[in-house]
A and B are shown apart, each in its own frame.
Chain A
Amino acid sequence: MSTQIRLRNCAKTFADGTRALAPFDLTIEGGETIVLLGPSGCGKTTILRMIAGLEFSDAGGVISFDGDDVTRQSIEKRRVGMVFQSYALFPNMTVAENVAYGLKVHGVPGKERDARVDAMLEMMHIDMLADRRIDQLSGGQRQRVALARAIAVQPRVLLLDEPLTALDAKLRVRLRTEINALLRKLGITAVYVTHDQEEAMALGDRIVVMQKGEIAQIGTPREIYRKPQNPFVADFVGAANRMTGQMRDGRLHIGAHVFDAVDAFDPRHGAIIDQGAVELYFRADGLSPCDLDEAHFTGRVEAVSYLGERLRLTVSGIGPQAVTIDTHADDVIETGADVHCRVNADRLTVFPAVAAHS
């Protein structure tokens, strides 16, 4: 059975006074893959190391595996598998010896050990590399060895800290798919740290978005993508366009235009935003180019980038900062031209304006 992990009231202040994590609660269900997502320095690795037993929570925090309190237990006893961005393979051992190491430490007898190592190598498609030295492997091969080594001992939880960050884009996507399949097949509880939104969406059953040592939102990839709970999450998962408006009697006013069909539920206050200044966050699909007579706004094209299947315009004069709008790849648009566009109100995420909620 896979292990459920509970962190209660955990926080971390380092010896030098750095407050890496404010007190937080987090429950990871057995067999679930949780992704910790956030910009560099927000505390993702610290949470992972706390679960591993490499860092201890400040006083008052409790960590339990399946109800067993492991708060003061050291990493050797916790049975966690770790996979690092730098691979951390033992350079003085071959591939097979690396994978066998944990089994050897646990006293698994030679014959059974060899069989399990072979099975692991085969599962990770590196059986032909068994006798290689580590410095003879590519980055992708190294990470496969690291994965095999970590899961060989059948850990209670697999902890992965940006395992694909050091690899090139194509390999990253391929290995990501494989890791996803592996995690489903093993049914193991996993915590995966990344700063890459796409990776988080692809792998996570749930995503924990973090901001400066605090949890900004926990949700399924769909919830995080479609219903970001605050401007930080919206911005971080790609809804980086911003406009300002007013809510009056439940209707959204932007400039002289009024929109009815907006989802103005504010999850943090658990209420519909009825009145007051609001900020609107949206992706490129929040505005679409149109003819002048249908347009809500007209802006000026500052830059054009060709994305293959579409053309992405950077447009000024609509929001407080430039916004991005997508148009057909075949359109011929020059920098400096005027562009007319409509607001797709159902694509807007509405937050109370900063002054109202900070």
Chain B
Amino acid sequence: MSSVEHIKEGRSRPSFPLSLLPLVFGRATPGAGSPAILALLMLPGLIIVAAFFAIPMALVAMRVADGPDGLATYFVILTNERYLASLIQTLVMSGGVTVTALILCGICGLFLVRNRFAGRNVITALLTLPLSFPGTVVGFMVIMLAGRQGVIGSVTDALWGEKIVFAYEITGLFVGYLYFSIPRVILAVMASAEKLDPQLEEAARSLGAPTWRVVKDVILPGLMPGLVSSGAICFATAMGAFGTAFTLATDIDVLPMVIYTEFTRNANIAVAAALSIALGAMTWAVLAAVRVFVGNGATSGTGGGA
């Protein structure tokens, strides 16, 4: 070993745990740190993934294989009319909730950021209040609104003698999930909207762009990262949420409810497990597809990944 290297070795090398800090908090530099150290840093994440995700998933998957139909259970759930209908219904409703929430919150969030008026902070606070409510409370509120004794029913009864009740079906669930999703999406939209550069819009307008073009070419691309990430959370939550549905009615055929009934009432564990895997895989696939589809455009936008 040459003397130069020797001096370098001897000089103020940070002690082992300290030398990890730049790896964790610093910018990734290519070739930084040995593979062993990097593996060590990955360890906590790997343990969590294994303990809470991979192992239970494997156990669930094994339950499917252990069932009376074995791996054919997957085929069963995709051909059984009731299961398939529930799958599609859940997908459509979650997609619908997500799109509706994105449109509503896109408009409201942009408006709240762009305008200063009395009561603005109160409205923002009210819109984000449901953030803390569990699904059961949201279900309870939907019943208060659209249940048999609900506000909407009473009003329509008084007006034209017909009680409109939709709390105990998929429409009620849709309203509940929408209510549940609004705060998350609106906060994300407002955060992205604050960061929009007004001069971009002015530049577009100076080039002759009418309002709809400014929205399409400047505002939407700027909001896209926020819309994608909050939409993903919104969709995943709607796919898997259970509390609201359970509070509203036990015969709403969304997938989490079907899984629950198969598991507890029918003791059809293999089917429940297969449906669980299908639910997870489908949610994951949709989110991955959205990311691929808008991801490129969105990330080359105003920064901030989905």
Contacts and interface: CB of A to CB of B under 8 A. Distances in A.
Given A86-B197, A88-B199, A92-B221, A52 B206 contact: yes
B207 A149 contact: yes
Interface in A81-96: 81-82, 84, 86, 88-92
A123 B239 CA distance: 55
A80 B300 contact: no
A101 B207 CA distance: 8
B217 A90 contact: yes
B203 A91 contact: no
Interface of A: 52, 54, 74-76, 78-82, 84, 86, 88-92, 101-102, 105-106, 133, 149-150, 153, 155
Given A91-B301, A153-B208, A75 B218 contact: no
B205 A88 contact: no
Nearest to A101: B207
B31 interface: no
Contacts, number: 66
A84 B221 contact: no
B141 to A, nearest CB: 39
28 contacts: A52-B202, A52-B206, A75-B202, A75-B206, A76-B206, A76-B208, A82-B202, A82-B203, A84-B202, A88-B197, A88-B199, A88-B200, A88-B202, A89-B203, A90-B200, A91-B221, A91-B300, A91-B301, A92-B300, A92-B302, A101-B204, A101-B207, A102-B208, A105-B207, A105-B209, A149-B203, A150-B206, A150-B207
Interface of B: 197, 199-200, 202-210, 213, 217-218, 221, 297, 300-303
Indicate the member of B203, B221, B303 with the most A CB atoms within 10 Å.
B203
Contacts of A149: 203, 207
Contacts of A82: 202-203, 206
B300 A81 contact: no
Contacts of B218: 90
Nearest to A15: B116
A86 B221 contact: no
A75 B221 CA distance: 22
A54 B209 CA distance: 14
A76 B199 contact: no
Contacts of B203: 82, 84, 88-90, 149
Contacts of B300: 91-92, 133
A149 B217 CA distance: 15
Contacts of B206: 52, 75-76, 78, 80-82, 150, 155
Given A74-B205, A76-B206, A88-B202, 8 more contacts: A54-B202, A75-B206, A78-B206, A84-B203, A88-B203, A92-B221, A92-B302, A101-B209
